[in-house]
Amino acid sequence: MMSGKARLVFSLTFVFYILPLLLFIPSIPAQELQKDAQYQNEKGIEYFNKGFYEALPKKKKEEASRYFEQAGAAFKKAIALNKSDVDAHRNLARVYYVQKRFSAAALEYLKVTDLVPTDIDAYVLSALAYTKAKDYEQAMAQLKTAKTFTADQAVIQKLDDYLSKIEQKKGSQSEE
């Protein structure tokens, strides 16, 4: 049994020395995970840029393909470390798009819209990927959703123009 004075010393020691350490320690791994995720994202961007801006213009498709695979792996690692990393999701979608994996790109852009529902560009890019995948219904749904997040008439008009083009593609597809 502790005396009153011993209890007071223990309590003060706990409050002033041990409790702050306990509160600080869990945040260290979270900060490290964030740094690791950021590092993976930056590494992925480097690989993507080498593939897209160096290898592809020189018609080195196999080399570009390897860089895109490395970029995709880095972005996936970043996402595994931080599932709410919008940039990593957006970058992974870009990789899928240049790999002509349009459905995967569209789904990754949808993850961006889940994280940032007002990101009109992500809806448009998702619609573009769905259009390339010939999933016109989903493409139109994305553009219609995007319209709900803006009051800017110029943006709404642009989205309506995109919708018209997709409806035309859908119509010409059904005639074939």
- Look up the CATH number of the domain holding residue 107: 1.25.40.10
Q: How many domains are contained in the chain?
A: 2
* 69 lies in the same domain as 110: no
* 41 lies in the same domain as 104: no
* 77 lies in the same domain as 30: yes
* Amino acid letter, residue 86: V
Quick check: is 48 in a domain? yes
* 21 lies in the same domain as 80: yes
Number of H helices, E strands in the chain: 9, 0
- Residue scoring higher pLDDT (42 or 26): 42
Quick check: is 175 in a domain? yes
Give the CA diameter of the chain: 90
* 71 lies in the same domain as 46: yes
* 174 lies in the same domain as 115: yes
Domain of 164? 100-176
* 56 lies in the same domain as 128: no
Per-residue pLDDT, averaged over 39-58, amounts to 96
Q: Give per-residue pLDDT as tens, 93-139.
A: 999 999 999 999 999 999 999 999 999 999 999 999 999 999 999 99
Quick check: is 2 in a domain? no
Quick check: is 91 in a domain? no
CA distance 50 to 59: 13
Q: Give per-residue pLDDT as tens, 136-173.
A: 999 999 999 999 999 999 999 999 999 999 999 888 87
Q: Give per-residue pLDDT as tens, 65-83.
A: 999 999 999 999 999 999 9
Give residue for tokens 């018609």.
Answer: 59
* 65 lies in the same domain as 105: no
Name the residue among 76, 77, 142 with its Cα closest to residue 103: 142
Quick check: is 135 in a domain? yes
* 49 lies in the same domain as 107: no
* 129 lies in the same domain as 65: no
* 43 lies in the same domain as 110: no
Whether residue 46 has pLDDT greater than 90:
yes
Which pair of structure tokens corresponds to residue 122? 């992500």
Quick check: is 11 in a domain? no
